C-alpha cells in the first residue's frame, strides 16, 4: 500500500493516530465502512438464520475481502460462499477452510488448483454441477488422483443462469455421480434471485417448493453420499421467502439448510434497502429481531467545481462507485473552511455520473463551496467494492483507524 494509492494517506500516521478525513489526511475519494454497523449487520443475519434453525454461508463476492469474511464467521456463519476458483484459493490462503463455490468447476487449470488444496490441507470444498459433461470431467480428473469433490446439483429456472431446467433431468446427473468414487453427491443447490416481475414472491415460493420436493425424493431414494444432505439457496432479496418455504417443507434434522445472502453485511440505501423493507413487511421473524440491516458504506469526495448556479461537479465517478442500480445519494457535507458538518436534504441529487466525475444538482438556497467534502451512500455494494483495493474502517467519528483489502 502506497501513500499515493487511491483512498490512502501516510501509512505511519494510520498506524499511530489514524487518518482523519475532515483534517484532509487521506486522498479523496475514499471508501469507508463503519465498524459498528457491519458487526450489527453480521449479528442480525446470524440471528435470522438461527431462528429458522438453518446455517449461513454468506456470499463473499459482495466484498471479496477475507478480513470481512472472518467477521462473518466470527458472528456464526457456517462457511463462506464464493463464485470463482481464484476467490476460493484466496479464501483458503487466508485460513478459511469451508467454502461453497456457487458455480460450476470447469477447466483443467482450475481442477489442478482445487486438487492441490484437497491434497495438502483439511479444507471443505463444495461446487455446483448441472451437466453430465462437467461431472464426467471432474470425476475422471479427481479419480486419477484418488481425491473426491463434494458436489451440489444445481436446479435453475427458464431464462435464468445455470442449473437444470427440469427436475426430470436430475436422474442422469445422479447416475453420473454414482459412476465415480471421486464425486460425492452432497445435496441440491439453487438461486432464486433471477426471478422478477409481477408475482415474483409467489414465483419464488413455487420454485423453492419444487426444489424441496426434488431434494426429499432423492433422500427417500438414498441417492446422496451423506445422511444429512445440503439444500442451499437464497440471495439478498428473497431470503425470507426461501427460509420460510424450506422451513415449512423440510425437517432440519434431515437436511443441512444453508442460506447464502451476501449484501447484508454492507447493505445500501438503494435496491437492497428496498428489498429489506419488503422482507421486514413480509416476515414476522425478521420483524421481531431487534434492529435492522443498516447501510455501512460511504464514499467521501471533494466538490471540485461550481461551474453554474445549482450545479456541483464532484470528484467521484464510475471508477469509484456503483451506478448500475441507481446513482449515489448525497448524505453529508463537511466544510473545511468552517469545520461544520451537516446532513443533506432532498435539495441535492446526483443526476449524471462519468468516469471520474459526477454532476450534482442542488437548490440555490444551499451553501456549497469548492473544497467542501461530501459523503455519499450507494446502491448495489458489490459493484462499489469492486472498484477499491483498500477500504477504510471508521468508528464513531470519521477517522480511519485501519484498512481492509479486497481480492477482486
CATH number, domain at 377? Answer: 2.40.37.20
In a domain, 271, yes or no: yes
Instruction: For residues 313 and 327, give the distance between their C-alpha atoms in angstroms, rounded to a whole number.
Output: 14
Q: Tell me: pLDDT of 252 over 90.
A: no
Q: Quick check: helix, strand or coil at residue 71?
A: helix
Instruction: For residues 245 and 209, give the distance between their C-alpha atoms in angstroms, rounded to a whole number.
Output: 7
Q: What percent of the chain has pLDDT over 70?
A: 99
Instruction: For residues 320 and 378, give the distance between their C-alpha atoms in angstroms, rounded to a whole number.
Output: 11
> What's residue 364's pLDDT?
80
> What's residue 168's pLDDT?
75
- List CB contacts of 278: < 8 A, sequence separation 6 or more: none
**CA 112 from centre of chain:** 27
Q: Tell me: pLDDT of 238 over 70.
A: yes
**CA 333 from centre of chain:** 29
- Res. 1 pLDDT band, cuts 50 70 90: low
Q: Which domain holds residue 330?
A: 11-33+294-405
> What's residue 197's pLDDT?
85
Q: Give the DSSP per-residue string, 131-200.
A: -HHHHHHHHHHHHTTT--EEEEEEE--TTSSSSBS-GGGHHHHHHHHHT-TTEEEEEEEE--TT--STTH
User: Residue 331: in which H helix or E strand, if any?
Assistant: strand 329-335
**Shared-domain flag, residues 180 and 251:** yes
> What's residue 265's pLDDT?
98
> What's residue 167's pLDDT?
74
- List CB contacts of 36: < 8 A, sequence separation 6 or more: 395, 396
Q: Assess contact for 214 and 171: CB atoms under 8 A.
A: no
**Shared-domain flag, residues 246 and 323:** no
Mean pLDDT of the chain: 95
Per-residue model confidence as pLDDT tens digits over 302-351: 999 999 999 999 999 999 999 999 999 999 999 999 999 999 988 899 99
Per-residue model confidence as pLDDT tens digits over 165-220: 877 789 999 999 999 999 999 999 999 989 888 899 999 999 999 999 999 999 99
In a domain, 2, yes or no: no
In a domain, 307, yes or no: yes
pTM for the complete prediction?
0.94
Domain boundary among the residues 254, 283, 312 is at 283
Instruction: Tell how strand 340-343 and strand 98-104 pair up.
Output: unpaired
- List CB contacts of 381: < 8 A, sequence separation 6 or more: 62, 63, 263, 266, 267, 268, 272, 297, 322
Instruction: For residues 263 and 247, give the distance between their C-alpha atoms in angstroms, rounded to a whole number.
Output: 22
**Shared-domain flag, residues 187 and 333:** no
| Domains contained in the chain, number | 2
Q: What percent of the chain has pLDDT over 90?
A: 90
Per-residue model confidence as pLDDT tens digits over 113-166: 999 999 988 999 999 999 999 999 999 999 999 999 999 999 999 888 898 887
Instruction: For residues 203 and 377, give the distance between their C-alpha atoms in angstroms, rounded to a whole number.
Output: 31
User: Residue 100: in which H helix or E strand, if any?
Assistant: strand 98-104
Domain boundary among the residues 259, 283, 307 is at 283
> What's residue 380's pLDDT?
93
Instruction: For residues 79 and 70, give the distance between their C-alpha atoms in angstroms, rounded to a whole number.
Output: 10
Helices (H) and strands (E) in the chain, counts: 12, 19
**Shared-domain flag, residues 341 and 389:** yes
CATH number, domain at 186? Answer: 3.20.20.10
In a domain, 377, yes or no: yes
In a domain, 289, yes or no: no
> What's residue 2's pLDDT?
65
**CA 303 from centre of chain:** 30
Instruction: For residues 195 and 213, give the distance between their C-alpha atoms in angstroms, rounded to a whole number.
Output: 19
Instruction: Find the mean pLDDT for residues 283-307.
Output: 97
Amino acid at each position: 500500500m502506497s501513500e499515493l494509492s487511491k483512498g490512502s494517506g501516510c501509512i505511519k500516521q494510520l498506524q499511530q493516530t489514524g487518518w482523519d478525513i475532515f483534517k484532509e489526511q487521506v486522498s479523496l475519494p475514499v471508501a469507508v465502512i463503519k465498524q459498528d454497523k457491519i458487526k450489527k449487520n453480521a449479528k442480525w443475519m446470524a440471528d435470522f438464520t438461527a431462528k429458522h434453525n438453518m446455517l449461513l454461508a454468506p456470499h463473499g463476492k459482495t466484498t471479496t475481502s477475507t478480513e470481512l469474511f472472518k467477521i462473518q464467521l466470527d458472528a456464526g456463519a457456517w462457511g463462506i460462499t464464493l463464485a470463482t476458483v481464484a476467490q476460493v484459493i484466496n479464501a483458503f490462503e487466508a485460513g478459511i477452510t469451508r467454502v461453497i463455490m456457487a458455480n460450476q468447476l470447469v477447466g483443467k487449470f482450475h481442477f489442478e488448483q482445487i486438487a492441490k488444496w484437497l491434497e495438502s490441507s483439511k479444507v471443505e470444498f463444495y461446487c455446483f454441477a448441472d451437466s453430465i459433461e462437467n461431472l464426467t470431467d471432474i470425476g475422471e480428473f479427481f479419480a486419477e488422483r484418488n481425491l473426491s469433490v463434494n458436489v451440489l446439483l444445481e436446479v435453475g429456472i427458464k431464462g435464468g443462469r445455470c442449473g437444470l431446467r427440469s427436475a426430470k433431468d436430475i436422474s442422469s446427473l445422479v447416475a453420473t455421480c454414482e459412476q465415480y468414487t471421486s464425486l460425492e453427491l452432497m445435496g441440491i443447490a439453487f438461486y432464486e434471485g433471477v426471478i422478477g416481475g409481477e408475482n415474483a414472491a409467489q414465483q419464488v415460493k413455487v420454485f423453492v417448493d419444487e426444489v424441496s420436493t426434488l431434494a426429499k425424493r432423492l433422500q427417500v431414494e438414498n441417492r446422496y453420499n451423506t445422511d444429512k444432505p445440503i439444500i442451499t439457496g437464497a440471495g439478498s432479496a428473497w431470503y425470507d421467502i426461501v427460509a420460510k418455504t424450506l422451513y415449512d417443507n423440510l425437517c432440519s434434522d434431515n437436511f443441512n439448510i444453508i442460506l447464502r445472502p451476501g449484501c447484508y453485511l454492507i447493505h445500501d440505501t438503494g435496491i437492497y434497502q428496498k428489498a429489506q423493507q419488503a422482507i421486514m413487511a413480509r416476515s414476522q421473524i425478521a420483524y421481531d429481531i431487534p434492529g435492522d440491516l443498516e447501510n455501512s458504506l460511504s464514499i467521501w469526495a471533494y466538490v471540485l467545481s461550481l461551474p453554474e448556479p445549482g450545479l456541483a461537479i464532484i470528484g467521484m465517478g464510475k471508477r469509484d462507485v456503483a451506478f448500475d442500480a441507481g446513482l449515489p445519494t448525497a448524505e453529508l457535507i463537511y466544510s473545511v473552511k468552517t469545520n461544520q458538518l451537516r446532513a443533506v436534504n432532498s435539495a441535492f441529487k446526483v443526476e449524471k455520473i462519468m468516469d471520474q466525475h459526477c454532476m450534482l444538482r442542488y437548490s440555490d438556497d444551499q451553501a456549497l463551496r469548492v473544497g467542501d467534502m461530501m459523503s455519499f451512500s450507494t446502491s448495489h455494494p458489490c459493484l462499489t467494492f469492486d472498484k477499491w483495493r483498500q477500504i477504510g474502517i471508521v468508528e464513531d467519528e470519521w477517522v480511519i483507524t485501519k484498512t481492509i483489502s479486497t481480492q477482486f
